Amino acid sequence: MKIAEGITVIIDYTLSLKNGDVIETTKDDEPVTYVQGTGEIIDGLEQAVAGLEKGTKKDIILPVDQAFGAHDPEALLEIPKTDLPPDSLVPETILHASGPKGQTINGKVLEVKENTVLIDFNHPLAGQEIYCAVHIIDVQ
């Protein structure tokens, strides 16, 4: 059976950066189970495994637009200090906010200014190609 929309897929994978640094892996954990076409995994990876069968191993390079997207300057926001808890006014602090669809969005404090805080709401891996080694364990 080939991977197609609506099919349950079980995979092992390792995501890494161009320099070889491993971002995430299932190597020492359980494989990931997802339903193809539901957006449960990175778009580019979902597209790359479409049509593959059980047992297939594949190395994939996910370009920026198919991984975590380009770095968006509009995702850098200056927020008044008074709108934030005092303990979050430290550079490198990760803040959690609600997105327009109710999803959790993480932001990283970049700079604390006199009256505002500069926060980066880009994904930490935005702007980077992602290398993925994937093994299709099962297709159901």
**pLDDT bucket at 101, cuts 50 / 70 / 90:** confident
Q: Using only C-alpha atoms, what is the Rg of the chain?
A: 18
Which domains are seen in the chain, by residue range?
Answer: 8-68+126-139 (3.10.50.40), 73-120 (2.40.10)
The mean per-residue pLDDT over the stretch 23-29 comes to: 93
pLDDT value at 102 more than 90: no
Q: What is the pLDDT of residue 110?
A: 97
Q: What is the pLDDT of residue 99?
A: 77
Q: Which of 98, 99, 106, 97 is CA-nearest to residue 125?
A: 106
> At 47, which helix (H) or strand (E)?
helix 43-49
> At 61, which helix (H) or strand (E)?
strand 57-62
**pLDDT bucket at 34, cuts 50 / 70 / 90:** very high
Give just the sign of the alpha carbon dihedral 36, 42, 44, 49: negative
